[in-house]
Amino acid sequence: MEFKGKLILVVDDEKKLVDFIRMNLELEGFRVSEAYTGMEALEKVRKELPDLVLLDVMLPDLDGFEVLEYLREFSQVPVIMLTVRKDEEDKIRGLELGADDYITKPFSPRELVSRIKAVLRRVLAIVPASEAVKIDDDLTIDFRNREVIVRGQKIKLRPTEHRLLYHLVNNAGWVMPHDMLLSKVWGREYRDDVNLLRLYINYLRQKIEPDPSNPRYILTEKGVGYKFVDFRRGKEGAQGSP
């Protein structure tokens, strides 16, 4: 997959680090834009429409989580969070707000480029359906607009929720093993992180299921993986919860 010319917005208040990132990304053929505050980052996303944002958590005006929250109100651009902290709660908070990945400082140029390419590969691999997919009278999924319509009410999906649901629906009726879903949605380096998958399955169930504790659509194959009900043939598997 060709990444040459993709625009990366680097958001960090440490100019030396920004220069270091710029140099390494330009060597890989990326174009690079810079922002040193949260407000500047939001403005540049609106004006420049980058292909990916590297977003530091510690910024002088808004913190990275606030920037991400505002950003998700108007853009689904992929975001990789940068932080010096290794706190699991920080990582989960970023993912919940719609981050696509998380890198802890210090990091090597090789790791950074690898993570950027992995996120872009996942995002670019998904071709939105041209029409909304009607599951039943209660649920319609609009992949183009990244939303689900539940009993007439539109509910937005986070980028990661969108990717996860996309793969489940496009393999409806088939059990997708944990490691396969993790590799497709987050990348091969996450293929053993079953707790992360379980967390996002729960997020999706909270949004689309009439009774998340007794799911109708996203079914569990204990110890193996998950499957989306085979709505195209009207077949349903055994129900379960994570």
Determine, yes or no, domain membership for 239. no
The residue out of 125, 154, 178 marking a domain boundary is: 125
CATH number at residue 89: 3.40.50.2300
CATH number at residue 163: 1.10.10.10
Q: Structural domain of residue 167, as residue ranges?
A: 133-228
**114 and 206, same domain (yes or no):** no
Determine, yes or no, domain membership for 83. yes
Is the model's pLDDT at 9 over the cut of 50?
yes
> In this predicted structure, what is the pLDDT of residue 190?
81
For the stretch 135-154, pLDDT in tens is: 999 999 988 777 899 999 99
Domain count, the chain: 2
Can you tell me whether residue 176 is helix, strand or coil?
strand
**81 and 40, same domain (yes or no):** yes
Can you tell me whether residue 187 is helix, strand or coil?
coil
Kindly report the three-state secondary structure assignment for every residue of 48-82: HCCCEEEEECCCCCCCHHHHHHHHCCCCCCCEEEE
**203 and 93, same domain (yes or no):** no
Is the model's pLDDT at 44 over the cut of 80?
yes
Determine, yes or no, domain membership for 166. yes
**75 and 142, same domain (yes or no):** no
C-alpha span between 171 and 159 (Å, rounded): 19
Is the model's pLDDT at 114 over the cut of 70?
yes
Residue 128: pLDDT band (50, 70, 90) is low
For the stretch 200-242, pLDDT in tens is: 999 999 999 999 999 999 999 999 999 999 887 644 443 444 4
